Amino acid sequence: MGCTMKRTRQQAGKFSKRKGYNFEREVTLMLNDWADEKLFKPQTKDIPELHHRGDIAKPEWFPFPMWCRKREGWNLEQMLKSPDKCNILEWWNEIEHTDDWLVFARNYFGPFVMCQQGPAWKALDGRVNTRRALDGCAQFRFQFMAEKVMLFKLDDFLSMVDVEGMRG
């Protein structure tokens, strides 16, 4: 007789929150390795030295608030084939500010960043060689609704951008 364990809805919710928090920690570790300091933290209350908005608390000099999503059941093809059923675009619509980044992944795939092209160029202009940074990344640029959007791998972007250039 095999023993199978079914999760209750409440247990599944706890697991989902834990998975989301672990993904936020994974992203902050990538950012802290890049910055060579512990400057990024999963969002918590009362961290006065860090700028708050999004799922990750960040230093003032980093211009992009980040919203993190890690879920299964999506693929990049959905954005083209059936955008009305695409989790990625649903998450994108939840973001209200134009300079925010959506950082998303599923198991063994990602993390990716989705952001509006205009605000990203503006925020990076003069801080880093934007063309060099983005030319070194595998990326997609597309129009979604009225927005020009970029999609790229987070680790590719961080490997091309000099942290000292970002600090200004």
CA separation, residue 92 to residues 14, 16, 73, 114, 133 (Å): 24, 19, 16, 8, 23
Q: What is the pLDDT of residue 129?
A: 56
Pick out the chain residues at pLDDT < 50. Answer: 1
Phi, psi of 73 (to 5 degrees): 90, 15
Q: What is the pLDDT of residue 160?
A: 75
Q: What is the pLDDT of residue 87?
A: 83
Q: What is the pLDDT of residue 1?
A: 47
Q: Where are the domains of the chain?
A: 9-167
Q: How many whole angstroms from its chain centre is CA 81? A: 23
Q: What is the pLDDT of residue 32?
A: 93
Q: What is the pLDDT of residue 137?
A: 62
